[in-house]
Amino acid sequence: MSAECSSYLNADKVLVSGFSCPRTGGDARAVYCCGFQDVKYCCDDPHSFFPYEHSYMWWLSVGALVGLSIAAVVLFAFIITVCVLCYLFINTKPRSKLDTGLSLQMADSETRGSSVC
């Protein structure tokens, strides 16, 4: 079994001529043409989409973890800051109550008794 990889322009806009898989001197199991429009290669898995070794992906994962960790710390600091500011806002409000303009006094028992006839 073999596959033909057609010619393509790589990322540097250089024409790479087509080739057959497996390549001469390459892995005999790499019988499929894999890749994208700007990079093609022979591979042993027809569902392979990434031409680099797994160690390259590991460094991408480490970079993503570092970035996510920094983002989590920034988000945590933001939430703590908002909580502290809300606490300070609530506790530094003046304790005086607003005057509604209504007098809420209890009526005397004499006043209630004399108005009933």
CA angle in degrees (0–180, nearest 5) for 82-88-94: 140
Give the other-Cβ count within 10 Å of 47's Cβ: 7
Q: Which tens digits make up the pLDDT trace of 8-67?
A: 998 889 999 999 888 888 888 888 888 888 888 888 877 766 555 555 555 667 778 888
Domain boundaries, the chain: 3-43, 53-92
> Tell me, what's the pLDDT at 73?
97
> Tell me, what's the pLDDT at 84?
95
Query: Tokens in use for 116?
Result: 């009933």
> Tell me, what's the pLDDT at 112?
55
